[in-house]
Amino acid sequence: MKKKIQIVVFVLILAFSFGVVSACDNNAAPTDTASVATARTAVENAVFSAVAQAALNTEAAAREHVEDIVSTVVAGMNVTTVVTGVFTAAVAQTASVAGSNGSFVFTVVISSGTATDTTASKTLMITRTPYVTDSNAAVATARTAIESAVFSAVSQSNINTRTAADAHVEAVIATAVYGLGVTTAVGGVFAAAIAATESAAGVDGSYIFTVAISRGAATDVTDAITLTIIHTPYAPRPGMPQNVKATSGSEQLFLYWSAPASDGGSAIIAFEVSYDNGSTWTTVSNTAGRAAITGLLNDIPYTLSIRAVNANGSGAEVTVTATPRNTVSLPVLLYHRIFTANRPPVDDYELSAAEFRSDLEYLVANGYTTVTAYQLAKWVSGEGGLPARPIILTFDDGDICNYTITFPLLQEFNLGKTSFLVGNWVGRLGYINVNQIWTMATSGLVEFGSHSWDLHTWGGGTGWGHMLMAPGETVEQYSIRILNDVTRMNQFFTTLENATDGLGINRRTLAYPYGRHNTGITSGILTGAGYNAIFTSISGLNTFRVGEPAGLMYIQRINRNPGPTQAFMSRHGI
């Protein structure tokens, strides 16, 4: 009758972790006595295979062998283990000495926080090396040794190919027949294990094999032996990170994301990023948010992958592609008033709501992403990223349509804008008020900049009211007039910042009223006053470079006059 040896042991899938975990210290946060009790049961039911005297005959080696098994058994249980015991060396057999087996009789102290327990005594047998001279006797001894060896059950995550199963079995055989001078050959039938899923229980695999043994002319074949391969149990992992996007900086990329819809029933402990097709993963954060990947080459596309990790391991990954760069072409569109009435526009500064919607549809369809003046300035300074096809939508004056018409459309398309306010007009009839500014600023879609406090007039009580130097006005007088207006606007911005907690308010960007200014003088005054991005009404596309902030002091804008979207965008190279 064929003899079938089948040993089933406790196998646990090693949970994904970060850093190096020692053989017997899972280095995890304390839990409770339940973890200690579970770990004790697992250790006491584990198989501590007998080993040959030639392979293992020192106390240090015996302890290390036991610690390796214990570490695997308690992986993921949040416990610390310490192995202690008494070692007896094996004595090899000789022609005149029968030899004797050795042993390592040990216990394992298990702790988690303040909870602690000690296992019952376990014994690791260390078999003596036999002394055999006759070939037939050597083969017979080898067969007995192999059929008596412990071929421990293994996990699907460790061994699920015929090659891996062969290697495992051959390593056990080599220990069992050490010193007998025999040759062995393994052959059998392999069945892979099927991992459990959320909807399927999973199936154990097996490797049913025999071993052909020979020494000289003497040969023999063992009975069939079964190596059981335990299927991987289902362990829920996190879902895919959401809202993943990448922006480009010079020699760096910025990755943004939010948390997965599901954490897999276990708290997310980290997010990992790879930019080499998954060969290397780097921990970037333990919360959803933002990561900078530096040390990259400009103008080379990179595919970034990000995944969430919980105690059960890493979840599905999301990939995005972006290219680091230090130069960007960025169009800026200029809008004033959007209307819904069934009438023609009154001038080149009015656009119907239908045309504005068409513009947004065009931008989305052609891969454009709206950015703000703040984002652009951060990119130029080397501190932030830009999307692949950035564009800025600007609205001058603060007309009420900013809130009643354009804001709902921007929300629908998840696009943003920069709105330049004339501070002294806020709250007037036909213009947005502070409450409406708060709603838009805190939405994350609208940035508010300056269109001056009260310099958007052709005249006034003093006879002059815009940012062009008045006839007869000295540079000193002009500078005082501009700075007084800046001071008043900054006071108003302080009020807005207090209301919005700073969200959406950019006191460092300005659009010239009417586009009028004195070249080389006005921008110098505004730079000294703290502005870092100034928009003109000169038509044209812009090219910006990292490290060249001067390019931000003369940003060109294309006025969106009435007409079909496709024709307008094509005419201006957008």
Summarize the confidence of residues 20-26 as an average pLDDT. 34
The predicted-structure confidence for 220-276, as pLDDT tens digits, reads as follows: 999 999 999 999 888 888 999 999 999 999 999 999 999 999 988 889 999 999 988
The answer to whether 543 touches 501, Cβ cutoff 8 Å, is no
How far is the C-alpha of 38 from the C-alpha of 74, rounded, in Å?
9
Summarize the confidence of residues 179-198 as an average pLDDT. 91
The answer to whether 428 touches 397, Cβ cutoff 8 Å, is no
| More confident position, 152 or 336 | 336
The predicted-structure confidence for 49-95, as pLDDT tens digits, reads as follows: 778 777 788 999 889 889 988 987 888 788 899 999 999 998 887 77
Please state the φ and ψ torsions of residue 297, each to the nearest 5 degrees.
Answer: -100, 135
pLDDT of 463 > 60? The answer is no
- Give the residue carrying structure tokens 């950035």: 390
Q: State the chain's mean pLDDT as an integer.
A: 88
| More confident position, 533 or 288 | 533
pLDDT of 465 > 80? The answer is no
Nearest to residue 67, comparing CAs of 101, 109, 36?
109
- Between the two ends of the chain, the Cα-to-Cα distance in Å is 83
Least confident among 16-30, 265-279, 555-569: 16-30
Our CA dihedral for 192, 198, 199, 205, rounded to 10 degrees, sits at 10
The answer to whether 203 touches 194, Cβ cutoff 8 Å, is yes
| More confident position, 534 or 314 | 534
pLDDT of 511 > 90? The answer is yes
pLDDT of 298 > 80? The answer is yes
pLDDT band at 32 (very low <50, low <70, confident <90, very high): low
Percent pLDDT > 70 in the chain is 93
Amino acid letter, 304: L
The answer to whether 263 touches 238, Cβ cutoff 8 Å, is yes
Q: Name the H helices within 398-550.
A: 401, 407-413, 434-441, 475-500, 522-528
How far is the C-alpha of 167 from the C-alpha of 159, rounded, in Å?
9
How far is the C-alpha of 374 from the C-alpha of 224, rounded, in Å?
73
pLDDT of 16 > 60? The answer is no
How far is the C-alpha of 490 from the C-alpha of 497, rounded, in Å?
10
- The continuous run of DSSP H or E covering 431 comes out as none
pLDDT of 5 > 60? The answer is no
pLDDT of 460 > 80? The answer is no
Total residues belonging to the chain: 574
Summarize the confidence of residues 145-152 as an average pLDDT. 88
pLDDT of residue 83: 96
DSSP β-bridge partners for residue 394: 334, 418
pLDDT band at 479 (very low <50, low <70, confident <90, very high): very high
Summarize the confidence of residues 274-303 as an average pLDDT. 88
pLDDT of residue 31: 44
pLDDT band at 3 (very low <50, low <70, confident <90, very high): very low
pLDDT band at 18 (very low <50, low <70, confident <90, very high): very low
Domains of the chain: 1-131 (no CATH), 242-322 (2.60.40.10), 327-571 (3.20.20.370)
The predicted-structure confidence for 334-384, as pLDDT tens digits, reads as follows: 999 999 988 888 899 999 999 999 999 999 999 999 999 999 999 999 999
pLDDT band at 99 (very low <50, low <70, confident <90, very high): confident
Q: Write the Ramachandran bin of 340: left for phi over 0, alpha for psi from -120 to 50, otherwise beta.
A: alpha
Please state the φ and ψ torsions of residue 125, each to the nearest 5 degrees.
Answer: -85, 140
How far is the C-alpha of 555 from the C-alpha of 544, rounded, in Å?
9
pLDDT of residue 385: 93
pLDDT of residue 495: 94
Least confident among 129-133, 259-263, 566-570: 129-133
